[in-house]
C-alpha cells in the first residue's frame, strides 16, 4: 500500500508527464511547441506559453525549497512570472530543461520529506504541506489547460 507522500508523488508525475486521466499533462501539452509559438500572444493580454513554462518551473522550485527548508521567503512578481523576451530554439530548450529540472527537484524533495510535513505549515503562517503539494498538482493541470487553449488559438 502506498503512503500519502507516495500518492502525492505519483499524482505530481501524472500531472506533469502523464498519463493524466483528464487530458494532456504539462509535458504533453508542450509537445510540438516551437519558440515562435512559445512567445506568441494569440489571446490579448494572456500570458504566453513561454511565460507559463517559466512560471510553473518557478513554483515547483519555491515549493521544493519550502518543503526542504521550511523557511519563508518573499516571492516577487519577477520571481513569480520571470520575464521572457524573444527566444530562439536554444533558449526554448533551456526553458523546457529548467522546467523538467525543477520538477525533478520537487519530486526529490517530496520523496525525502517525512510524512508529518503534510500536516504542518511549510512556512510560518503558510499552507500545510498537504495543501501546498496538492496545489502543485492543481497548478500543473490549470496551466496545462491554458497551454492547450493557447495552442488552439495560434494561427
Alpha helices, DSSP H, located in the chain: 4-17, 26-30, 35-39, 49-69, 77-80, 89-112, 129-153
Domain of residue 72 covers 4-153
Number of domains in the chain: 1
Per-residue model confidence as pLDDT tens for the chain (155 residues): 999 999 999 999 999 999 998 899 999 999 999 999 999 999 999 999 999 999 999 999 999 999 998 877 788 899 999 999 999 999 999 999 999 999 999 999 999 999 999 999 998 888 999 999 999 999 999 999 999 999 999 98
Are the C-beta atoms of residues 63 and 102 closer than 8 Å to each other?
no
Predicted pLDDT at 75: 86
Tell me, what CATH number does 21's domain have? Answer: 1.20.120.450
Give the three cell numbers for residue 135: 496545489
Burial 28-55 (b: 16+ CB within 10 A, else e): bbbeebebebbbbeeeeeebbbbbbbbb
Predicted pLDDT at 127: 92
Amino acid at each position: 500500500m502506498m503512503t500519502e507522500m507516495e500518492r502525492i508523488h505519483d499524482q505530481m508525475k501524472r500531472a506533469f508527464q502523464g498519463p493524466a486521466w483528464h487530458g494532456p499533462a504539462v509535458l504533453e501539452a508542450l509537445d510540438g511547441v516551437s519558440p515562435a509559438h512559445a512567445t506568441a500572444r494569440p489571446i490579448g493580454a494572456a500570458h504566453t506559453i513561454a511565460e507559463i513554462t517559466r512560471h510553473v518551473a518557478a513554483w515547483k522550485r519555491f515549493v521544493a525549497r519550502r518543503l526542504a527548508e521550511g523557511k519563508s521567503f518573499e516571492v516577487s512578481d519577477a520571481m513569480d512570472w520571470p520575464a521572457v523576451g524573444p527566444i530562439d530554439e536554444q533558449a526554448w530548450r533551456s526553458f523546457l530543461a529548467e522546467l523538467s529540472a525543477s520538477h525533478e527537484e520537487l519530486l526529490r524533495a517530496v520523496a525525502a520529506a517525512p510524512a508529518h510535513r503534510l500536516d504542518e505549515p511549510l512556512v510560518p503562517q503558510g499552507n500545510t504541506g498537504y495543501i501546498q503539494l496538492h496545489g502543485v498538482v492543481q497548478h500543473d493541470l490549470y496551466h496545462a489547460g491554458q497551454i492547450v487553449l493557447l495552442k488552439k488559438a495560434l494561427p
